[in-house]
Structure 1
């Protein structure tokens, strides 16, 4: 029976090498397929049960060996919505069943892929080149909190980003110890001060000092000559309407020799109507004395915050009593030091409000967040991409389009990036090495030819047997 066994063994060898060649051809065919994972071939010998001194080499069987966990090269595409996983893990995706737009029906099953060439379709869904839809969790753009606990198909719409009213103005500046106002004269002590009680028809000092807290139109020239500009900033109301807020500083008193020492005192004014005349209010005092000690440190208000009173600028009401705007200095960013220019050195004036905006572009961060950039300058996370890892990633079941399905052997998915990172604007390429596949193809061809030679030899031996019988 040895000759006949040799024939069947050679046939299994041919079958095994044919199977290997099929995998090689598939790997080569998909060498340019994004996210493709090559399939290698492993061989196993099949040995019949026999006595120890009668054991034979046996026949062969071929099996597939997955390379799902072997990463391919990353290719920069410059498409913001493309993403590649650098490390372990798979994108969680789903398949569309029917419907369009918001009525699109999905299979509601989690599939997994390394193919990250995602882009928006007409309905705002992120879909890759194989037709799989990206899943994740939406993020509230206002609060920054993740919505829900389970990943769902992501849909990014170009809804308007709501406006936010200004509540804080971060102010960082140095005020000169000696302000060079138009009236300032070093030979005349006190000429640099506001002197609210002299030259004003209406006292613009704080109400605590007996003033009205306002500069009227008829006193505008006098006020401008006794104060210095402090910068300006644009603030927004709840509807996103912009209003320019101009700051102006006036020194009220210099420190007196002590004890007890009297600190340098300033008043801050906000422009309400710079074109005012007569008794119309032009500037409004924030009605708070701002003081500095002899080291230039702000000592009052103790909180470091200056509240802007309710006022109307250019017809727009700002800083209502229900939501006043605070000028925040933290007690350290506003100082009084000597400055030869005699002017305010406003290093930074920033506020936290903005007008409504529309989505301009979307990108993907290393943490797997879908980041939206809006026309109002806001950059906020819109969604968290779902990434899953498996204890046995090579045991996933392959599907069309570079997708995989969970199996008992692969174990349950572990959701989260882990030590991996997402690289936006990149796509993972096939992990097929053409040169290696050609080498395997040559070896496979030689092995196949050798098996055919075994069959030819066995056939000749059988012919000799038949000739004996004749």
Structure 2
């Protein structure tokens, strides 16, 4: 029986090496397939039960060994929607079951892949080169909170991003202790101040007994007794842009003595610089802005100045606060005598459309809109497994959960996503060719065993002739 057993063992060896060669050929064929995980071959000896001193080497069986946990090289593609996982984890994807366009129906089954060459199709779905659709959680663009808890197929359309009315203007500047207005004369005390004398309508704030407006006939006097404070574009609820011009005028000097005890300024906003006669040209914010001896603002408390409601160029401007953060507005000496505006920023914007989409390291799908807004649109779902080499392989570089792999753990963990890149196959061509040579030699050796066994059997047959 020994010769016949040798034949059987050699056949099992040829079968095992053929199995290994099949895996090697598949690895080589997919050496350029994005996200592909090579399949190695492991061998197990099959030993028949026998007495201790009669045990033989036995035959062999071949098994596949997954390499899902071995990462391939990350290749930059410069395509914003391409994304690779640097570390453990798989993208959660789904398959289309029926329908087209907005009526596409999906299998509603979570599959997993490392193939991240996602791009938009005509309907706004992110689909990879193997036809799998990316899943994740949408993000509320207003609150920034995740919508839902279960991953769903992501669809990002180029709808308009709504306009936002300006509610706050961040203003950080230094106001000169001595403003060099056109009327200012260092030899004449108080010439740098805004004096209501000569004005038809008292421009001082209502808190100082004034009318709180500058009319067209007083424009020349007002401009010569105030200094520019900068301008900023603001937006109404429909996203219509309007330029807001600020001017500052100093009204009292603490150094002049009682009744003035602080340095006081008035802020004016241009309503109609082309106004004539009794038409309003500038409106006073009607807040006495005061500074102490160190140049720090003491009023209003908190540093917020409410701008007056007005109509500028046909657009109503209302509900806007000038915020200074408490210490953003100071009054210090400045040889120029002009306002040094370090920052004038507002929080409104016009409506916009989606220009481009990218993926952050944390897995957020970031949308950049034509109005300059950058908003998180969705959160990609990344699944990790305790035994990712026990996942079942599917066509197109996808995997599905098995009992052996355990349930998915949703979350990046210590991994990061790399936008604009794709993970390449983890196949090493040189290594596969080395395995192929060894496999070929092992297969040839097994055929030699069969030839030898055949010669031995021929000798036996010749004895009885």
Per the shorter chain, which TM-score range?
over 0.9
Question: 3-state DSSP class of the match of 1:223?
Answer: helix
- Structure 2 residues without counterparts, runs of 5 or longer: none
| Residue matched to 1:466 | 461
User: Quick one: distance in 2 between partners of 1:170 and 1:464?
Assistant: 102
Cα deviation for residue 309 of structure 1 reads 1.5
Is 1:421 the counterpart of 2:416? The answer is yes
Picking from 327, 332, 338, the partner of 1:337 is 332
Q: Deviations over 1:366-412 (max 9, x none)?
A: 00010000000000000000100000000000000000000000000
| Residue matched to 2:39 | 39
> What does 1:304-343 align with in structure 2 at a 5 Å threshold?
304-319=303-318, 324-343=319-338
Which piece of structure 1 moves more, 203-212 or 269-278? 203-212
Is 1:267 the counterpart of 2:266? The answer is yes
User: Quick one: distance in 1 between partners of 2:123 and 2:389?
Assistant: 34
Question: 3-state DSSP class of the match of 1:182?
Answer: coil
Q: Deviations over 1:84-140 (max 9, x none)?
A: 000000000000011122211000000000000000000000000000000001111
Picking from 372, 377, 381, the partner of 2:376 is 381
Cα deviation for residue 453 of structure 1 reads 0.3
| Residue matched to 1:434 | 429
Which piece of structure 1 moves more, 142-151 or 118-127? 142-151
Question: 3-state DSSP class of the match of 2:115?
Answer: coil
| Residue matched to 1:358 | 353
Question: 3-state DSSP class of the match of 1:256?
Answer: helix
Contact 2:253 2:260 in 1 (8 A): no
User: Quick one: distance in 2 between partners of 1:253 and 1:275?
Assistant: 28
> What does 1:91-240 align with in structure 2 at a 5 Å threshold?
91-196=91-196, 198-240=197-239
User: Quick one: distance in 2 between partners of 1:225 and 1:174?
Assistant: 20
Q: Deviations over 1:304-360 (max 9, x none)?
A: 1000121111111111xxxx1100001101000000100000010000000000000
Question: 3-state DSSP class of the match of 2:217?
Answer: helix
Structure 1 consecutive aligned stretches of length 4 or more whose deviation exceeds 6 Å: 257-261
Question: 3-state DSSP class of the match of 1:312?
Answer: strand
| Residue matched to 2:439 | 444
Corresponding residue pairs, total: 465
Question: 3-state DSSP class of the match of 1:151?
Answer: strand
User: Quick one: distance in 2 between partners of 1:260 and 1:465?
Assistant: 133
User: Quick one: distance in 2 between partners of 1:170 and 1:259?
Assistant: 34
Q: What is the aligned-residue RMSD (CA, Å)? A: 1.0
Q: Deviations over 1:8-27 (max 9, x none)?
A: 00000000000000000000
User: Quick one: distance in 2 between partners of 1:468 and 1:351?
Assistant: 106
Question: 3-state DSSP class of the match of 2:116?
Answer: coil
Question: 3-state DSSP class of the match of 1:267?
Answer: strand
Question: 3-state DSSP class of the match of 1:149?
Answer: strand
Contact 2:252 2:260 in 1 (8 A): no
User: Quick one: distance in 2 between partners of 1:236 and 1:261?
Assistant: 38
| Residue matched to 2:64 | 64
Question: 3-state DSSP class of the match of 2:251?
Answer: strand
Cα deviation for residue 258 of structure 1 reads 6.6
User: Quick one: distance in 1 between partners of 2:235 and 2:350?
Assistant: 7
User: Quick one: distance in 1 between partners of 2:261 and 2:301?
Assistant: 16
User: Quick one: distance in 2 between partners of 1:185 and 1:291?
Assistant: 22
User: Quick one: distance in 1 between partners of 2:299 and 2:461?
Assistant: 118
Cα deviation for residue 161 of structure 1 reads 0.1
User: Quick one: distance in 1 between partners of 2:4 and 2:326?
Assistant: 97
User: Quick one: distance in 1 between partners of 2:143 and 2:345?
Assistant: 20
TM-score, length basis structure 2: 0.99
User: Quick one: distance in 2 between partners of 1:258 and 1:17?
Assistant: 103
Cα deviation for residue 256 of structure 1 reads 3.3
Contact 2:207 2:288 in 1 (8 A): no
